[in-house]
Structure 1
């Protein structure tokens, strides 16, 4: 009930926040613009402060310079647009000729005919807008018998100077008020940056002020660097587009360059939107098709260079958003705030993701929108096994093993996945058919992973490259004593199929390094099955256990193993042990020869026992090149493992 109430409360709060953002956009939109611009201008303010300039003066200077540049750019754009509007009728003949040529290539095309008619009507409307001062003649209405017409006089209201002034100023009040509001917001945000930070810390919580302060400062620096980098890259992109279009001969190239730079803030489709208008104008202004083709080539080349070379070098992964998150963010902000929201979508979403990484209450933003993996490698492996879909897990394992050894993969990924399974089994979430299905899928999956490791090891040997943490391969002539038998290493699970899965892992490691091994089920240690268990040829027996809460169960299994194979050495694989005290106490309790908590150390100890050569484990970890020099056999496990 509490969980349901919390979910409903969260949904209600989300709906209220979205409604406020929609209906209060007249205020929130200038505030958002001011926030983004303040991130961009903050480094410049800090630079002036380093020159001993007081902060208020530095803020005013930077804001004045920034908005002077914006207003100057807007004035030039207005002139260019006005010139372009006056030149549009000149291109009507060119469009008509191209339509005629296309119609000649395929006569009977009604769509082209309709396009020509529409363009003709557009031309008449444009000419009429610039009219010659002639009045339209209206045909007199014929009198209707029996109806007397009453003359009506229409007088224009006399407007005084004040009314005229109001009519001129009224359309400018909205944009002017918004601009002034943005300027005021920026000035106060930059001047009171530390005060706003402290208030945010107070709002979030004061339990860890040092870390929260460092996190917010780091977030501010990262966002400032990101937005400045994007501004610089998009400005250079727009400048290059403008120069290129001017060289090609597209009219009003300056306008399209500025528009391309601005639209590039729109994710994915910004460059395409920036191409549409200059492409239409290139088709209209040139009698041939070369100008249009050069325009498309210019946009394709510059976007490819910017997106694939420049941005990865200067930005890297600084956005921290997944492609799906960028698309969803663009859709949401465009719905809330229109075209300006489309331009601000990426910066605003980046701010939410950065806050989500540092503020626990906003963590869901980082999970939903951030580019960090939602699950760790071990969690992803566990989930794939539960879903009975091991293909993706095999690919992840293959990618991991290109730079690491199989034993490291077992310790860093497989062991935590088995620990997650152990926890779920202990609380009753993994039992019965689900647990059995997990065990079967795990055995099949790990056999595939071992086979991929064999293939990768062969490729590494051909390339003469070693991997850190690799263990040496044992040849048949290196085996000593009882290790020359058919199955000198036996791996047994202590209690259930999860312990058997861990036993499969260590047996696989032994086989992939040249040592014959077999896996026995935990049921073989019960009184009913113990007589059937044959351990006569075993040189080393490993008892694997993931549940250390009941040491008596481990001691019981160890006693049964000692009774069946008194001459074999005993290894305890306590894969969830976290300290040496647990290993030491259980070793003394059962008089074991080894008690280890990592698969790498266990595999190294098995190799040392098999060869009769007991170097330090540190030396065994460094023998990476020995694995590449040794011939490779195909691993084979008891219990359905793949060749």
Structure 2
């Protein structure tokens, strides 16, 4: 056999120049700055409106329930809003009663605090003072005596400077002044609450009209996209608020009951405080826990009350955060943990404590908006919980950096809910298509091609023992990694694997000769095809294009080979070398059925490019299905091609492959 021809010379990588800056980017930056400034300087007007909108999302399910009970629209809204107001007032009264009760027992708690402080000082500061005093006395014994002046007084002594201390006392406030101070503290929250309730009532009364006006304002040209975005925002916000409110109430009840059992005074107050502060992401629970722990340490006769309080808050937050919240929120809230932290910092800077509470729902609205508005897509990429790269893009990126370990971990996760052939089609084939497009552009270097080849070999070899079966995840298994598909396309991952060829049941064996094209990625596609064919009961081997070139073709005998599969990413374009290869194969093996893949689904095979008897495949699953169908049309045992030099002299060596398929990389591929 003659030596393989040298590899083709590759043009230097040419990366397209970056787009020149345009006025669109500058306009976007200016618009963003203006929006941030408007949010900051208009917070006194925007905060009540935003609170009213979010309150309407929270009350809307209750309004819908009342309307299903045949209440009118106006009575339903009034009853729901005033019921919400009653709950808010009740919580305020409960907090006030608890504060009054604790203030009445404050002298008792003060004495307990003083005793503990004295004990702490005696065991910490007192011991430190004793050590310092001892050290000071030791220094005085060894230091020289101080010198005295003519009057016999120490130079260190200082005489008075004759200054007189003056203290300024303000007169006690009058009753009118006390009333004004009290009103100044109360009138602000009462005014904001009134504005929020009035705006929420009008939003609930004119909900459909406001929705239509927003559609007209934001996207009347694309009603489907705008309606989908608004429905998704309303659904996610309502679900988030209801789930969060239910969880917070449950956590508050558990904390109140637990503190009562421990014996901490004001247990109801700390439970309500915990329920309210849990709206602050991540740190809200621990702020309430810090207050409760400090109070328990102050009033408890020993340190046991403090320890049990810490255990109560830690266990409750762990169960609520790791078990209850994932069950209540479903798959996720739609935000990444990074987004929650950044949003909390940004909105607290813009709007203060209220912004900290509203940070999660506001950012969730922005992420939903970014999913449906092209110019705001960066918001979904930065703050959304969906993967930034699809599995195919991640596959290609990991190939470029030669990281097969992460790819194998991704494959194991994805294979929990899909068959091996589906994984190869959705992830590996799609990723190799991306690499093929970059090869056509001339931006892939020789070093990157080497990395891609090495990593892909490791992936195929690592999946050698994986059966091509559809495994649905059980309830106790972790969910598979995200496919990056839309919700309506998620059923693709459950597509059944190809048919299996049973040699005993069919009564004969069938061999498939896979011939890779001469492209850099064709051998990788051929390896995957051979692996899948062997897993489905066929004898398969892979040969490089060089073995079937015009100069080497005369040394090859294809008598008895029933199925020939040409695997190449160039199949769609049907280049001349593939057409000539197919004609030579047809002349030498007219009895063999020919299958050509992998063609592009978006650009099907040109019927005039190959022989009319050719069958094309767009995926690995179709390759296997077509080969299995062709094998069932055979009537007798066929001869495998692996290792043949002249005729069939090496055919007996393949007999063990009927029961135990060999490695994917055959001898011919290694010789290539």
Equivalent in the alignment of 1:258: 272
Which residue does 2:543 correspond to in 1?
520
Distance 2:379 2:366 in 1: 6
- 1:491 — aligned with what? 514
Distance in 2 between residues matched to 1:257 and 1:387, nearest whole Å: 52
Residue 349 of structure 1 corresponds to which residue in structure 2? 363
TM-score, normalised via structure 2 length: 0.74
Q: Partners in 2 of 1:480 and 1:282 — Cα distance?
A: 81
Matches within 5 A, 1:426-575: 426-430=440-444, 432-453=446-467, 468-469=496-497, 471-472=499-500, 480=508, 488-513=511-536, 515-527=538-550, 538-548=561-571, 550-553=573-576, 554-563=578-587, 565=589, 568-575=592-599
Distance 1:535 1:169 in 2: 99
Distance in 2 (CA, whole Å) between partners of 1:640 and 1:234 is 63
Greater share of residues in helix: 1
| SS of residue in 1 equivalent to 2:330 | coil
In the alignment, structure 2 segments of 5+ residues that lack a partner are 1-18, 133-159, 472-493, 637-657
* Deviation of 1:347 (Å): 1.9
Aligned to 2:51: 33
Tell me how far 1:330 sits from its aligned partner: 2.0
- Aligned counterpart for 1:296 among listed residues 304, 310, 313: 310
Which deviates further from its counterpart, 329-338 or 523-532? 523-532
The CA deviation string for residues 68-103 of structure 1, in whole angstroms up to 9 with x for no partner, is: 321232133134224434544533443455456667
Equivalence for 1:120: none
Aligned counterpart, 2:92: 74
- How far apart, CA to CA, are the structure 1 residues paired with 2:553 and 2:519? 16
Corresponding residue number in structure 2 for 1:192: 206
Q: Partner of 2:488 in structure 1?
A: none
Select the residue among 18, 32, 36 that pairs with 1:18: 36
1:337 and 2:361 are equivalent in the alignment: no
Deviation at 1:40, TM superposition (A): 0.4
1:462 alignment counterpart? none
2:618 — aligned with what?
597
Q: What corresponds to 1:626 in structure 2?
A: none
Aligned residues: 579
1:43 deviation in Å?
Answer: 1.7
Deviation at 1:39, TM superposition (A): 0.6
Q: Is the 8 A contact 1:226 1:318 kept in 2?
A: no
What is the DSSP-based 3-state SS (H/G/I as helix, E as strand, rest coil) of the residue aligned with 1:490? strand
Q: Helix, strand or coil: the match of 1:321?
A: coil
CA contact (8 A) 2:419 2:497 kept: yes
Please give the TM-score of this superposition, normalised by the length of structure 1. 0.77
Aligned residue runs from structure 1 range 128-277, under 5 A: 169-277=183-291
Change (3 A) 1:537 1:277: same
Give the structure 1 partner of residue 409 of structure 2.
395
Whether the aligned pair in 1 keeps the contact of 2:236 and 2:333 (CA below 8 Å) is: no
Deviations 1:339-377 (A, max 9, x none): 222222222222222333344443332222222222222
User: Secondary structure of the equivalent of 1:511?
Assistant: helix
What SS does the aligned partner of 1:302 have? Answer: helix
Equivalent position SS for 1:551:
coil
Q: Give CA deviations for 1:567-601 in whole Å, capped at 9, x if unaligned.
A: 5442212431458x747655xx4254543223223
**TM-superposed deviation, 1:261:** 0.3
Cα distance in 2 for partners of 1:235, 1:446 equals 51
Query: Is the Cα–Cα contact under 8 Å of residues 408 and 469 in structure 1 kept in the other structure?
Result: yes
1:128 alignment counterpart? none
How far did 1:262 drift? 1.0
How much does 1:518 deviate?
3.4
Q: How does 1:391-430 map to 2 (within 5 A)?
A: 391-430=405-444
CA contact (8 A) 1:379 1:417 kept: yes
Q: CA RMSD in A?
A: 4.1
Aligned-partner Cα distance in 2 for 1:165–1:536? 107
